Structure 1
Amino acid sequence: MLGVDNHGQTIVLACAFLSKETTESFVWMFEEFKKVMLGGEPKTIIIDQDAVMAIAISIAFPTTFHRLCIWHITSKFSVKLPHSAYKEYWLEFQKAIWDTDNKDEFDAKWNIVVTKACLTDHPWLSSMFDLRESWVPAYT
């Protein structure tokens, strides 16, 4: 687990080797982590889209804000979208993601790009839009 110290530097907080990546294993790991952290639960945890870990976070850290890593999500656009749509619309997706100040503005820009790119029925984009509260900066 990584954290940020009082100087804004990334630091290693903990490391664990798990023989199985199960909900129970992650809950155990998080409970052990809590035992040595004097400040209580973390305020925010950012992970990739690991569903098992997300369940464990909700069990072990019920008051912690769980976010999805925006880098992991945005790096998948080039793989998940048709090549031509990615090439033509990636900059507009970036602007919608990074250059919006509020939820309504993001939703409007996202819907415009998705419609222009003829991707309104794209399953992955739809799933990312449904999860927007946990990864889009305008929502957090």
Structure 2
Amino acid sequence: MTDTSDDRIRFQVELEFVQCLGNPNYLNFLAQRGYFKDQAFINYLKYLLYWKEPQYAHCLKYPMCLYFLDQLQYEHFRKELANAQCTKFIDDQQVLLWQHYTRRRTKLLQEQAEACANRMAQTNGQVNPSQT
């Protein structure tokens, strides 16, 4: 394998792993198996903070993983993840956030579409140069 190929594979593996950190149930799995007690693993989590840099962060499909990556830098958070109730609470809060975001985004898009339709009706479909 070439260095470029190795770098590409490493990038993909690290990208997938960082995104897995956005899943509270996976974090619970890691905590219950003692990964968060391994100093080498903790160091790896610290190393992965480079994903917060814009040139890497734009590749993430699930940006919530960066929040959890930040929180994993704290021992107290890592210990709490072993508690299934804590993980369930985090998971529930994440779902509520997504639901709120989706509803809010839908509402904003509807308002924008209605405003655009009203402008079009007022100008009889004519483009007003002052609004472009």
- Structure 2 length normalisation: TM-score? 0.24
From the CA coordinates, give the structure whose radius of gyration is larger. 2
Could you say which structure has the higher helix fraction?
Answer: 2
TM-score (normalised: structure 1) = 0.23
